[in-house]
Structure 1
Amino acid sequence: MWRRRLTLPRRWPPGALLVGGAARDLLRGAAPGDWDWAAPDPELAAEWLGRQLDGAVFALDQERGYYRVVGPAEEQHDVVPLPADLTSELLRRDFTVNALALAPDGQVHDPSEGQRDLRARTLRMVSEANLRSDPLRLLRAARLSITLGFRIEPQTREAVIRLAGEDWPSPAAERVREELHALLLHPQAARGVRLLEELHLLQRWLPELREGLGVEQGGFHHLDVFQHNVEALHQLVQRFPEAPLALRWATLLHDVGKPRSRSMEGGQTHYYGHARLGAELAGSMLARLKAPAALETRVSALVAAHMVPLPQNEREARRFVHRRRELLPDLLQLMLADREAARGPQSSAASRRYYQQGMDRVLAALEEQPSAPAPLLRGQEVMQLLSLAPGPAVGEAVAALAEARALGEIHTPEEARVWLRDWAERRG
């Protein structure tokens, strides 16, 4: 059965075996994302692949014989030495479906019956000791279960939960981040987050998120804070399958500040300042994962803005677009996902229509003015006109002038000068 379905790649380094996830993917009829090879002469195999792919060859660790080849379409091949004892090497892997090696004649080295588990779409540990040797494998269990669509067999699930509760050094933040990103970018990202909680892994790496468990909200909400955050992510991915990573993070964490901002007033629960606090928490969580600064900044900005009221008229819509242009359309998509994830007693068809009208006003304003209009006066002109020295006051004046331009209050440099003088007089 497997042999009939197997299509071997045309480019096969001399004497090499395809190992791990790449072999797994070929055997299940999928194209590998990355290619891992074990070769008798890794340098020779890497150079051969470089010529075949017209790619660049890099020595990752020349002394140990680790090489990487990157093709013109970012296709990545890693080449390592072929072990003297292939079986022992494969049995040190995490899961049986990854403990595979494929020869160029189609023969499969399978010491842990990984092909059986491939057929059953089951994720089974090779051994508990292997999971313990690299705790990142616990997180990988969740990620692979979601991305491959495999069930985690009971003993493996029990081992992951048990090991999650033990005290061990955390893997490098970068490795954790990449696993979480792979999970979040999958169409079943929300189910993946719930699986992390089921496996007791969320407490290890995203504890702030699970603080929302059991924090009931009422009003427009029918779910506790944690489940609402996850449902919002589900709503986002369902409606916007191409949603970028920053938007997915922001949607998952949009209410992460609620548990710590919760207060009671007049017998009612409030979450004053939760968007601001949530932005700070989201930033610190991503910083802990050593995420790129641009990602951290974008996510924090989206979380901070997600509670901004939608406009009630066209003028307000133009102001909304002007002030938050750099966050659009992501901010609208986050707000829509947030609203669609809330179906509490105060939610109604009328409230949803009202919300949609506000969205439509913003979209119309954005279509009318897709980019910021060119400034009518330069900063130097503003300084001369108002007799200002360089400093914050100049920035305030320039910003106010830009907003008036975006709102359609002024259209020419002369109108801008008149408006600016009036503005300065009103400010005293």
Structure 2
Amino acid sequence: MFRRRPTLPPFPAGGLLVGGAVRDWWRGIPPHDYDWAVPDPAGAARTLAGAVGGAAFPLDAERGYWRVHAPGGVQHDFVPRPGNVTDDLLRRDFTVNALALTPEGRVLDPAGGRADLRARRLRMVSEANLREDPLRAWRGVRFEVTLGFRLEAGTAAAVRGVAADLARGGLPRPAPERIRDELEALLAHGDAARGILRLEELGLLALTLPELREGLGMVQGGFHHLDVFHHGVEALHQLLTRFPDADPALRWATLLHDVGKPRTRGTNPRSGRTTFYGHDRGGAELTREMLTRLRLPSATVDRAVALVRAHMAQLPADEREARRFVHRRRPLLPDLLRLMLADREASRGPDSHPAIRHAYARAFERVLAALEEQPQAPRPLLTGEEVMALLQLSPGPAVGEALRAVAEAQALGEVRTPEEARAFLQARRVGDVPG
């Protein structure tokens, strides 16, 4: 079932390898992160760092935890070796992590983790352990996806119980940063969409992204065959199928691109059809609230918000409009096209048919061709000072409007030199030039 077990680095003096590294080694997967239980964490960390050319530093000086960043992105953590190793292992989250390995190759397995590994089964060591740190509920979903295992029935029921108690305030909620780390690890996997559905099944999504759940059961019709919630999840699946290298901002934006629909739902009085006018803008605001709440990096939040806000952009019908599209949305490309493609491929409603799909594909080709033709924004033809002198303007919005008008005309091929740019501005009033 498992591959040949990889060679491990030399054991530190008196040390045991514990937890997930043993789990991965047993499955034949080279560990990327090593957890060592040793008599002298500081000494062991410094010795390893010196041997491999890494950097050793205290992770928690009070508890004696040390970490080494080794070449190749490998990480080694060192903690004091417990007096009773068995008791320590039985305080862990899942049986597949309650393992230790001795320097002689003997596996310590007090909870039956090796049997669960063979069965690809994720089983809690105890419900008390799960409740002691409720983040382990989210970790269980992450392990289901990243390990390809399945929570056994009793553990799944316990996770649902933890989620219910968290919702009632009966258990303390994990810090947002810890939940964020689990979600980011989940979203980084190619099967992340399944993980989102599993969070919902177990009652954890309501504690994490409640706004996303507002789309459950909200039928859209038209191009859509799924409700709002499941359409977003399917779009994430389509994205990761086609673009497995998508970065976190694009993954978040794809999952959340329609999160604004439930709060903008309306009805067209003439046709009686359901509408979601402004859901792109409303969804961008909700995306910012949700991702900020999870303490994501501001750069990731800003880009995800921008992608959600732009996902309804009208695709160009000809080459000139394609150049305009690229000029106006260059900072978001090609990610915006990837999001729009995933959105389109997640839609299979009654209004979808091959002719529309073909037109959509042709529009994408136009944008990509325009982007290839001009992969970077051209150097500006005029400076702000030159515009002010030419049009006798004081510093203010009108100057920026003029510069944007010239930049767009340059992108469309209407002006190519500073002289043509000056003539372009003089030929019309600045206020009449589209900005």
In structure 2, what is the equivalent of residue 280 of structure 1?
Answer: 285
Quote how far apart the aligned CAs of 1:426 are.
Answer: 6.4
In structure 2, what is the equivalent of residue 298 of structure 1?
Answer: 303
Quote how far apart the aligned CAs of 1:163 are.
Answer: 1.3
Query: Deviations along 1:200-258, whole A, 9 cap, x unmatched?
Result: 11000011111100000000000000010000001111111111111111000000000
For 1:61-140, list aligned pairs within 5 A.
Answer: 61-140=60-139
Quote how far apart the aligned CAs of 1:392 are.
Answer: 1.6
8 Å CA contact 2:283, 2:309 repeated in 1: yes
The answer as to 2:355 corresponding to 1:356 is no
Quote how far apart the aligned CAs of 1:12 are.
Answer: 2.1
In structure 2, what is the equivalent of residue 365 of structure 1?
Answer: 370
Secondary structure of the residue aligned to 1:423 is: coil
**In 2, Cα distance between the equivalents of 1:48 and 1:157?**
42
Query: Residue 176 of structure 2: which of 173, 177, 192 is its match?
Result: 173
The CA RMSD measured in Å over matched residues stands at 1.4
In structure 1, what is the equivalent of residue 421 of structure 2?
Answer: 416
Secondary structure of the residue aligned to 2:429 is: helix
Count of aligned residue pairs for this structure pair: 427
Paired residue type of 2:49: G
8 Å CA contact 1:8, 1:106 repeated in 2: no
In structure 1, what is the equivalent of residue 247 of structure 2?
Answer: 244
8 Å CA contact 2:6, 2:30 repeated in 1: no
For 1:37-56, list aligned pairs within 5 A.
Answer: 37-56=36-55
In structure 1, what is the equivalent of residue 143 of structure 2?
Answer: 144
Query: Deviations along 1:363-391, whole A, 9 cap, x unmatched?
Result: 11101111111111111111111111112
Secondary structure of the residue aligned to 2:13 is: coil
**In 1, Cα distance between the equivalents of 2:294 and 2:337?**
26
In structure 2, what is the equivalent of residue 234 of structure 1?
Answer: 237
Paired residue type of 2:9: R
**In 1, Cα distance between the equivalents of 2:175 and 2:384?**
47
In structure 2, what is the equivalent of residue 160 of structure 1?
Answer: 159
Query: Deviations along 1:111-170, whole A, 9 cap, x unmatched?
Result: 101011011110000011101011100000100011000011000001101111112222
In structure 2, what is the equivalent of residue 185 of structure 1?
Answer: 188
**In 2, Cα distance between the equivalents of 1:106 and 1:400?**
70
Secondary structure of the residue aligned to 2:375 is: coil
**In 1, Cα distance between the equivalents of 2:98 and 2:33?**
16
Quote how far apart the aligned CAs of 1:13 are.
Answer: 1.4
Query: Deviations along 1:3-35, whole A, 9 cap, x unmatched?
Result: x94334133212111111111111111122311
In structure 1, what is the equivalent of residue 199 of structure 2?
Answer: 196
Paired residue type of 1:26: W
Query: Deviations along 1:172-208, whole A, 9 cap, x unmatched?
Result: 1111111101111101011111111111110000111
For 1:390-405, list aligned pairs within 5 A.
Answer: 390-405=395-410
The answer as to 2:262 corresponding to 1:259 is yes
TM-score normalised by L of structure 2? 0.96
In structure 1, what is the equivalent of residue 321 of structure 2?
Answer: 316
**In 1, Cα distance between the equivalents of 2:6 and 2:241?**
33
Paired residue type of 2:214: E
**In 1, Cα distance between the equivalents of 2:31 and 2:9?**
14
**In 1, Cα distance between the equivalents of 2:362 and 2:280?**
23
Paired residue type of 2:307: L
Structure 1 pair 171–425 and aligned structure 2 pair: CA distance change class (3 A): closer
In structure 1, what is the equivalent of residue 24 of structure 2?
Answer: 25
8 Å CA contact 1:8, 1:104 repeated in 2: no
Query: Deviations along 1:299-327, whole A, 9 cap, x unmatched?
Result: 00000000011000111100000000010
Paired residue type of 2:258: D
Quote how far apart the aligned CAs of 1:74 are.
Answer: 2.3
In structure 2, what is the equivalent of residue 427 of structure 1?
Answer: 432
8 Å CA contact 2:12, 2:44 repeated in 1: yes
8 Å CA contact 2:401, 2:430 repeated in 1: no
Paired residue type of 2:383: R
**In 1, Cα distance between the equivalents of 2:145 and 2:183?**
11
Query: Deviations along 1:87-130, whole A, 9 cap, x unmatched?
Result: 11111100000011111111111110101101111000001110
**In 1, Cα distance between the equivalents of 2:340 and 2:347?**
11
Query: Residue 207 of structure 1: which of 207, 210, 228 is its match?
Result: 210
8 Å CA contact 1:253, 1:282 repeated in 2: yes
Paired residue type of 1:344: G
Quote how far apart the aligned CAs of 1:72 are.
Answer: 2.8
**In 2, Cα distance between the equivalents of 1:214 and 1:33?**
41
Of residues 83-92 and 7-16 in structure 1, the stretch that sits farther from structure 2 once superposed is 7-16
8 Å CA contact 2:53, 2:71 repeated in 1: yes
8 Å CA contact 1:55, 1:71 repeated in 2: yes
Structure 2 spans left out of the alignment, 5+ residues: none
Query: Deviations along 1:33-78, whole A, 9 cap, x unmatched?
Result: 3111110111111111111220111111223211010013221111
Secondary structure of the residue aligned to 1:323 is: helix
In structure 2, what is the equivalent of residue 221 of structure 1?
Answer: 224
**In 2, Cα distance between the equivalents of 1:164 and 1:358?**
45
Structure 1 spans left out of the alignment, 5+ residues: none
Secondary structure of the residue aligned to 2:71 is: coil
Secondary structure of the residue aligned to 1:73 is: helix
Paired residue type of 1:406: A
Paired residue type of 2:255: L
8 Å CA contact 2:398, 2:431 repeated in 1: no
In structure 1, what is the equivalent of residue 12 of structure 2?
Answer: 13
**In 2, Cα distance between the equivalents of 1:288 and 1:395?**
34
Quote how far apart the aligned CAs of 1:425 are.
Answer: 5.9
8 Å CA contact 1:68, 1:78 repeated in 2: yes
8 Å CA contact 1:160, 1:199 repeated in 2: yes
**In 2, Cα distance between the equivalents of 1:357 and 1:29?**
46
8 Å CA contact 1:386, 1:424 repeated in 2: no
TM-score normalised by L of structure 1? 0.98
